[in-house]
Amino acid sequence: MKMLKSIQIVMNFKYSLLFFAFFFATIPSVSAQEWKLFKKNDSLDCRYFLTDHLKNIYIITHKNELLKYDSDGYFDSRFSFKKFGKIGYVDVTNPFKIILYYTDYQCIVLIDAALNPIKTVFLNDMGVANAATMAIGDAGHVWIYDSGVNMILRYSIDATGFKLSYKSTTLNQDLTGQKIGQMLIRENLIYINVPAKGVFVFDQFGKYIKTLDILNASGLQIIENQLFYKQNNQFCKFNLQTLAKSILNIPKDVSGDRYMQIQKGRLYAQRSTSIDVYDEK
């Protein structure tokens, strides 16, 4: 009888340890990064900005120009093409083949690293009903989520222009009628941010895999299996392998409502007329 009680105590203790291990694993941790100011770019006309893996900064102005600053924070080049109105979306995943999307005209302009135009394509002429979001994939293809037909389209680029190389079947119906955010392509996986539902993950053929429980997120970036995003005025990261969430420390002089980007060892924060660049200590 004493032996049974001892076994029961040991088992209860074991399950208690498992419970606490699970409990604490589900609590978001705060990453311990510390930052020091590297450069402050002042007197900027900045509607929003993006960064690439080479640590270049791309500023979209209220005048619908694209300005590029190099990794040291100095002005590099400018792209100004106002014929198609407001720049609705920019993808700088590939810094040598940048997408600018003009929503009003359903028009894509591809530009190179020096911000020179490569191609101009009208999506309506290609049979796209409504390009809700798009991205350049690892192999240089342009991927478009067409919310008009709820499909993912993949286009290759050659000397003659864009050519449709793949069209998915109808996607998960939870996307229908939703406000669509960014699309990201990494390692043959497609991530579509639907702020009200989460981040939907598909394979390269548009087959639904799962939905990441990340609501009301913005400014998504994927860097080495880590998904970075803003949520409720906090800068967060989500490990795509372990599914662990954590909150990143930000510089004390940066408020949580600022738009931010991150690259390896560097943090960027937008203020009203400046972009502050921080290096990790």
Q: What is the DSSP letter of 97?
A: S
- Per the CB < 8 A criterion, the answer to whether 181 and 167 are in contact is no
In Å, how far are 69, 123, 221, 235, 247 from 27, measured between CA atoms? 38, 44, 22, 16, 10
Return the pLDDT at 269.
94
Mean pLDDT computed over 191-213: 95
pLDDT score recorded for residue 271: 87
State the CB neighbour count (10 A cutoff) for residue 162.
22
Contact 173, 126 (CB under 8 A): no
Tell me the per-residue pLDDT of 133-155, one tens digit each, with 9 for 90 and over. 999 987 778 999 999 999 999 99
pLDDT in tens, 214-273: 999 999 999 999 999 999 989 999 999 999 999 999 998 888 788 999 999 999 999 888
Q: In terms of C-beta density within 10 A (0-12 exposed, 13-18 middle, 19 or more buried), how is residue 33 classed?
A: middle
Q: Which of 31-35, 84-88, 110-114, 252-256 has the lowest mean pLDDT?
A: 31-35
| Per-residue pLDDT at 63 exceeds 60 | yes
The residue with greater pLDDT, 219 or 2, is 219
- How confident is the model at residue 32, as a pLDDT? 60
- Domain coordinates of the chain in residue numbers? 33-280
Tokens of 54: 């080479």
For the chain, give the mean pLDDT.
87
Give the dihedral sign, CA 78/135/224/97: negative
114 residue type, one letter = A
At residue 210, does pLDDT exceed 80?
yes
Q: Is-contact 176 150, C-beta < 8 A?
A: yes
Which residues are CB-contacts of 87 (< 8 A; sequence separation ≥ 6)? 60, 64, 66, 100, 101, 102
> pTM here?
0.84
Residue 256 confidence (pLDDT): 79
Query: Beta strands 29-31 and 245-248: pairing type?
Result: parallel
* pLDDT of res. 15: 47
Question: Which CATH superfamily is 33-280 part of?
Answer: TolB, C-terminal domain (2.120.10.30)
pLDDT of 280 above 80:
yes
Q: HSE-up of 113 (CA within 13 Å, CB side)?
A: 9
Contact of 155 with 167, CB cutoff 8 Å: no
239: β partners: 226
Q: Which amino acid is at 235?
A: F
What local confidence, expressed as pLDDT, does residue 262 receive?
Answer: 95
Residue 14 has pLDDT above 50, yes or no: no
Cβ proximity of 105 and 85 under 8 Å = yes
Q: Percent of the chain at pLDDT above 90?
A: 67
Q: Which of 15-19, 45-49, 87-91, 181-185 has the lowest mean pLDDT?
A: 15-19
